[in-house]
Structure 1
């Protein structure tokens, strides 16, 4: 086993070779190498004690590679370590009141990049990334594109409200019939009962007229289908796309309004969850689509009855 006087210079030589091999990628040396590293090489190669070790070239390279690996782990691993050590931020997350016009503009423009769900989340969380920072800065907003078209085009729940639900539960907190869900429920009622879109962009993507319609449902295929019939426009038309972009802005704004009310201590829900009202997880206007084949509602065991 080498003593400290021998191990020290040997280690430094390994470091010198490792830096010579690897610092090129980090921009520390140019052609010919750094003067500092050259001096280190000369100094230690002339050291008689070190030469007496009779190091083979193979052994030296092994040592250099080993040291380089340690250096790489040190340089690249520190950020990973800091992330691993970072503690999860408990819900609800910190919040600062949002500017509704900013939310609307961000959401509208984002729809053309990531569609409804992603657009609403982006419109609400992007300003918070600037106002609050973490944990919003690290939140993977781009992973929520899948809500488009009522979840990858299946026409189920409109992605705008899925986005609203994500934001509301992060900011107001999760839990059955808790504040995050109560805000989401209010947004769904607003979506279903209001003639939308209301938002008028400063720089619209289309010059065609965008009429309003009321969906009476949170389902994408019903909402879009009713609008298409009233507007006499196809699904792939520029007008239908812009309608959904504007509608996304409306839902993001309504969600932000309720979150701002919550921040002021003024949020008061006006609707109960459907299961508590109707005794089933649904609306009570099923005959609009389903005719006489609507299942009979059994209210037995309903805690609201």
Structure 2
């Protein structure tokens, strides 16, 4: 998410976006490595905050977070040959979101199926973030 967002802005707008290293956000994966806030939400919040004034950013971030907890993930399933079961997190936490999915699919955390689900969740969250930003900016 960060690479696409800041990379595109860096190419089109230059500074300061060209100065942001997308690798900075790698530690957000797995709920910051502690199964806390979904890393996709953390990265999306930074992206929104980088292009929207703070008071408006808070509203847009709240909209995204509320969508996340009610959305049936993953809609986008690029990394899996079969059909992944969709689950609703009912939470912003990685542990709740991925935990429900792992239970439904009967897989462990290190299973490639779980990884595919997280990739789909990141893609779905990115799509929604872009929709929210486009609406805000009148695009």
The TM tier, using the shorter chain, reads over 0.9
Match of 1:257 among 128, 131, 138: 131
Give the aligned CA root-mean-square deviation in angstroms. Answer: 1.4
Q: Which has the higher contact order (CA 8 A, sep 6+)?
A: 2
Q: 2:45 is matched with which residue?
A: 165
Q: Equivalences for 1:106-185 in 2 at 5 Å?
A: 120-152=1-33, 154-174=34-54, 178-185=55-62
Q: CA deviation at 1:208?
A: 3.6
Q: Is the 8 A contact 1:123 1:252 kept in 2?
A: no
What is the distance in 2 between the residues matched to 1:159 and 1:131?
Answer: 26
Runs of 5+ consecutive residues of structure 2 not aligned to the other structure: none
Larger radius of gyration: 1
What is the distance in 1 between the residues matched to 2:7 and 2:127?
Answer: 13
The answer as to 2:103 corresponding to 1:229 is yes
For the structure 1 residues 208 and 239, does the alpha-carbon distance in structure 2 shift closer, same or farther, using more than 3 Å as the test? Answer: farther
Q: CA deviation at 1:146?
A: 1.5
Q: Equivalences for 1:46-57 in 2 at 5 Å?
A: none
What is the distance in 2 between the residues matched to 1:123 and 1:186?
Answer: 21
Q: Equivalences for 1:213-292 in 2 at 5 Å?
A: 213-264=87-138
SS of 2:81's partner is coil
**What TM-score, normalized by structure 2, do the two folds share?**
0.93
Q: 2:73 is matched with which residue?
A: 196
Q: Equivalences for 1:68-83 in 2 at 5 Å?
A: none
Q: Is the 8 A contact 1:172 1:179 kept in 2?
A: yes
For the structure 1 residues 184 and 126, does the alpha-carbon distance in structure 2 shift closer, same or farther, using more than 3 Å as the test? Answer: same
Structure 1 residue ranges, 4+ long, deviating more than 3 angstroms after superposition: none
Q: CA deviation at 1:194?
A: 0.9
Structure having the higher helix fraction is 2
